[in-house]
Chain A
Amino acid sequence: MDLSSPLRSIAPGLDSAVLEVLARTESGLSATQIARLAGRGSRAGQRDVLNRLVEHGLVLAEPANRGYLYRLNRRHVLAEPLLAAANSRSTVLSRLEQASLVLQPSPLHVSLFGSFARGGAGPSSDIDMLVVPAADVADDEAWAEQMQSLADGVLTWTGNRLEHIVLTLEGLRAAADAREPIVASWLDDSITLLGPPVSLLLQDRDVTSRLVVPGR
């Protein structure tokens, strides 16, 4: 699915662009503001979409000094599924967080990086995950099964593939010492799902002795 614009997966046309803008705020927006925030489609096309959505009651049009202010009708029966679809990035994050919690042995750290973490992922983007296990799991069949199962889950939930890098804490620190460019992405753009952030794992060499690892 389009991970940065989930409604687009359901409604590829201009409707999703307009609805995404309206779903982000409870305040009324002018057609000009909607056009600027939507970033795609012509003004005429957006006006047609707004008129149709008003006709269906999903968008309210309130007369203003010049033209109308439009807002999503949050009491409309379609508003709830619409908002759920618009916020499905949060649902994906929540499911990944839950899935990270049940990995065994419990990892020291799980985070997302790359385009999904930066909010720029599209329909063909992978979801990139960094996992720092508490023990060396390189040759652990049960661990490999869990990661494959998680990847299958992500593909089923989203249609996007999960790509994961599994690094021991020593491996993570070695990558930082070797100035691997990807470490900057882990430090700057990642979303931590479990455990301390990468910055803490790299700074605090005694962090493992003070961590309370869930389920252990």
Chain B
Amino acid sequence: MSPKKLTTRKAGMPQARSRRQIAQKYLEVADVVAVEDGAAINVAVGLAVLAGIAAGDAICIAAIGERYSGSDHSAAAELLSRVDAALGKQLRRIVDLKPGSHYGDTLLRVQDRTIALRAAASLVDAARERVP
């Protein structure tokens, strides 16, 4: 049990669908950017984080009628873990890459992008299944 209080916001299925659609769009754009290396790796990972967060929101809303409402992405992963531990872990894998993109332009590698896109795709797939 985390010592942090997770702030949440109530939401219904229309919002879940909207967050799922946004997640899909972020992932689509991330896939487009992923053909470039260099600084574009940071962009792709950043978009994968956003896709994962939005997909996680959709999944949480569908399951418990609430989504995380703060700005701490790790806390969003924590809320998702309470709904589905395996999916929460996937989101944490992406969120863990954020410091690499914050602290520099060349710290993330192609392998990091691959991991981020793979995890984001799993989360978006799960959101599609749970939020038709």
| A188 contacts B by Cβ under 8 Å | no
| B34 contacts A by Cβ under 8 Å | no
**Is B103 a contact of A180 with CB atoms below 8 Å?**
yes
Cβ 8 A contact of B4, one of A144, A159, A165, A180 = A159
Cβ 8 A contact of A136, one of B92, B93, B111 = B111
Measured between alpha carbons, how far is A161 from B4 in the docked complex, in Å? Answer: 10
Cβ 8 A contact of A164, one of B93, B99, B112 = B99
**Is B96 a contact of A148 with CB atoms below 8 Å?**
yes
**Smallest CB separation, B111 vs chain A (Å):** 4
| B83 contacts A by Cβ under 8 Å | no
With a cutoff of 8 Å between Cβ atoms, the chain A residues found around residue B74 in the complex are 151, 161
Measured between alpha carbons, how far is A89 from B69 in the docked complex, in Å? Answer: 31
**Is B109 a contact of A171 with CB atoms below 8 Å?**
yes
**Is A128 a contact of B99 with CB atoms below 8 Å?**
yes
Residue of A nearest to B98 (CB): A163
**Is B3 a contact of A138 with CB atoms below 8 Å?**
no
**Is A165 a contact of B107 with CB atoms below 8 Å?**
yes
**Smallest CB separation, A189 vs chain B (Å):** 13
| B105 contacts A by Cβ under 8 Å | yes
With a cutoff of 8 Å between Cβ atoms, the chain B residues found around residue A180 in the complex are 103-107
Residue of B nearest to A178 (CB): B106
Query: Which A residues from 46 to 93 make CB contacts under 8 A with B?
Result: none
Query: Which A residues from 132 to 172 make CB contacts under 8 A with B?
Result: 136, 138-139, 144, 147-148, 151-152, 155-156, 159, 161, 163-167, 171
**Is B92 a contact of A165 with CB atoms below 8 Å?**
no
With a cutoff of 8 Å between Cβ atoms, the chain A residues found around residue B96 in the complex are 144, 147-148, 151, 164
**Smallest CB separation, A88 vs chain B (Å):** 15
Q: A138-B115, A175-B106 are in contact. Are A163 and B99 (CB under 8 A)?
A: yes
| A200 contacts B by Cβ under 8 Å | no
**Is A178 a contact of B115 with CB atoms below 8 Å?**
no
With a cutoff of 8 Å between Cβ atoms, the chain B residues found around residue A187 in the complex are none
**Is B107 a contact of A156 with CB atoms below 8 Å?**
no
Residue of B nearest to A168 (CB): B109
Query: Which B residues from 83 to 114 make CB contacts under 8 A with A?
Result: 89, 92-93, 96, 98-100, 103-107, 109, 111-112, 114
| A182 contacts B by Cβ under 8 Å | yes
**Is B3 a contact of A155 with CB atoms below 8 Å?**
yes
> Beyond the given A138-B109, A164-B96, A175-B106, could you list 16 further A-B residue pairs with CB under 8 A, ordered by the A residue number?
A136-B111, A138-B112, A138-B115, A144-B96, A147-B96, A151-B74, A155-B2, A155-B3, A156-B2, A156-B3, A165-B100, A178-B105, A180-B104, A180-B105, A180-B106, A180-B107
| Those 10 A-B pairs whose CB atoms lie nearest each other, nearest first | A138-B111, A180-B104, A182-B103, A163-B99, A178-B106, A159-B3, A165-B99, A182-B104, A165-B100, A161-B74
